[in-house]
Structure 1
Amino acid sequence: MTELWNWRIDRVRPVEVYPALAEALGRMVMPLAAADPGQLPVHAVICDVWSAPGEFGTVVDCYGVPDGLSELHGVAALARLLDRACVLRDDTLDAGRHLLVTPDGTIRPVHFDVRETDDGEELSGQRLCTLTHPTCRGWSQCHRSRWAPDSVAPALAAA
């Protein structure tokens, strides 16, 4: 139980996330504020959900995710249950590059403008990661990713 997952959801109330996440993961989900480390059920997932500025303003951190759970399957199931798109960081070192997971399970790389604010990281200006954009061509970090520019995959094939 060592993984940390960090996702952002397209505007949903934090109170709606906990039961949907429990259903998506098939595990009990405990809010971080209420989690007593000495009394946690064995396979519980500890989760913190809050609002941040900008696009995809609902932030979800999952702590101590049990081994064997697939992050991509989990976020795809959450997107479907909430009927909201979600984003998560991709495998590059580009702070603005994320994976967009839509409610139908489609996964594709996207870019955001990222700005630090007093209320947290703000994402804005979403655009697809595509070879038609100059910053995604050539030697960009986009080509070092498992998710090349213009790639699109269903969630089950991606995991």
Structure 2
Amino acid sequence: MIELWNWRIERRVAATEIRPALADALRVPVLPLGAIDPADIPQGAMLVDVWHRPGDFPTSVDCYAVPADLPEVVAVAAFARRLRRSCLLPDDTLDAGRHLLVTADGTIRPVHLDVRETDDGEILSNQRLCTVLSPRCRGWSPCHQSRWSPDSVLPALAAA
């Protein structure tokens, strides 16, 4: 099975800044998607597509041919630390508004965002923590079915 990682980054970040940060954080060659003949892709290289849209996390990053032995949360934590920006990745609930926030120090916690579809793509806004203090996250909710239950925090050192 080929795995794909989809991340969002706070503020606009150029692809020319993202690719070297990924390569350094993950210790793999990182190439732009579509910029090279598939026959010329080096063994172990990751392909990355970057684009921008509106919202609180406007930079989108898609990673293809990701390292099989590296958990995604560990990869994004290393990347967020290297880039010094918070990142979002989808969580395991299939709730479009629930994500994992990976802060610039590599700490991971579940959050909710408002999601609005537009002609320019999906816009995320109004970030708030996933916590049992929120009526949306109490009781029988998708939040409690997740590996990342409300109020869970994976500190930076554990995420490394």
Distance in structure 2 (CA, Å) of the matches to 1:158 and 1:26 = 17
Q: TM-score, length-normalised on structure 1?
A: 0.95
Distance in structure 1 (CA, Å) of the matches to 2:14 and 2:130 = 28
Amino acid at match of 2:34: A
Distance in structure 1 (CA, Å) of the matches to 2:27 and 2:51 = 22
Q: How far 1:65 moved relative to its partner?
A: 1.1
The residue that corresponds to 2:9 in the other structure is 9
Q: TM-score, length-normalised on structure 2?
A: 0.94
| 1:15-26 alignment, distance < 5 Å | 15-26=16-27
> RMSD over aligned Cα, in angstroms?
1.4
The residue that corresponds to 1:117 in the other structure is 118
Distance in structure 2 (CA, Å) of the matches to 1:56 and 1:14 = 15
| Unaligned residue ranges in structure 1 (runs of 5+) | none
After superposition, what is the alpha-carbon deviation per residue over 1:60-95, rounded to whole angstroms, capped at 9, x for unaligned? 000111311221111111111111000000000100
Contact 2:112–2:127, Cα closer than 8 Å, also in 1: yes
What is the aligned residue count?
159
Amino acid at match of 2:41: L
Q: Note closer, same or farther for the CA distance 1:136–1:153 as it changes in structure 2 (3 Å cut).
A: same
Q: How far 1:158 moved relative to its partner?
A: 5.0
Structure 2 residue 37 is the aligned partner of structure 1 residue 36: yes
Amino acid at match of 2:90: R
Contact 1:14–1:51, Cα closer than 8 Å, also in 2: no
| Unaligned residue ranges in structure 2 (runs of 5+) | none
Give the SS at the match of 1:65: coil
| Identity over aligned pairs, percent | 67
After superposition, what is the alpha-carbon deviation per residue over 1:127-159, rounded to whole angstroms, capped at 9, x for unaligned? 000111110011110000000001111255358
Distance in structure 2 (CA, Å) of the matches to 1:135 and 1:148 = 13
Give the SS at the match of 1:46: strand
Q: How far 1:35 moved relative to its partner?
A: 2.9
The residue that corresponds to 1:105 in the other structure is 106
After superposition, what is the alpha-carbon deviation per residue over 1:91-111, rounded to whole angstroms, capped at 9, x for unaligned? 001000000001111100000
Give the SS at the match of 1:148: coil
